[in-house]
Amino acid sequence: MTCIVALEHEGKVWVAGDSAATVEGDYIICSRADEKVFINDMMIMGFCGSFRIGQLLRYSLDVPEQSTKTEDMSFMVNDFVDAVRQVQKEKGSASKENDLESHESSFIVGYRGKIYVIEEDYQVARPLDNFAAVGSGAAVALGALYATKNTLNLSPENRLRLALEAASEYVANVRAPFMFLQL
């Protein structure tokens, strides 16, 4: 799997991720050159799970414009998720079982200085803390982000680096190199 971490800091969102790719059932792990963290229009994103879904988010998703009358969370829940679902349906990466749609990925979106986590069932979550993590290394990374949240001398990048290093130390399918972006 992977580890994607995000941090809100001074009106910006930092997102970082590892480079691991695994083949389930075959016990194969490798590092990939196609990044799991990227910027699409006015959003910064990082994904875990299916690389296909991450590629669609990066190269096929047209991020809709937000109406001035719509709150950010409403925009993310309705307009943004609808655009994600539509591109996945068109490109064949969405699943439907018992009338419930899902996709094989969780991802983090940084938008207007806030972190949003989109889960496999398309729910949109806003963390209470100013940080989030997804992927197989999420629990370890969240522990590291929590442990460093009151450390004033650590930059956002260094906090994210420590979280990813901790995850790569204790989770077999998280590995460097790490990619860092901020928006």
* Longest alpha-carbon distance in the chain: 50
CATH for the 4-182 domain, from 1.10.3720.10, 3.30.70.270, 3.60.20.10, 3.40.50.720: 3.60.20.10
Evaluate whether 56 touches 34 at the Cβ level (below 8 Å): no
pLDDT of residue 60 exceeding 60, the answer is yes
Give the model's confidence band at 90: pLDDT under 50 very low, under 70 low, under 90 confident, else very high.
confident
Q: 6, 14 in Cβ contact below 8 A? A: yes
- Rounded distance, CA 138 to CA 119, Å? 13
Q: pLDDT per residue over 92-132, tens digit each? A: 766 566 666 655 778 999 999 999 999 988 999 999 999 99
Pairwise CA distance, residues 59 & 78, whole Å: 21
Task: Quote the pLDDT of residue 94.
Answer: 60
Average pLDDT, whole number, for the chain?
91
| Nearest alpha-carbon partner for 125 in 62, 181, 81, 79 | 81
Q: Where are the domains of the chain?
A: 4-182
pLDDT tens-place string over residues 32-42 = 888 999 999 99
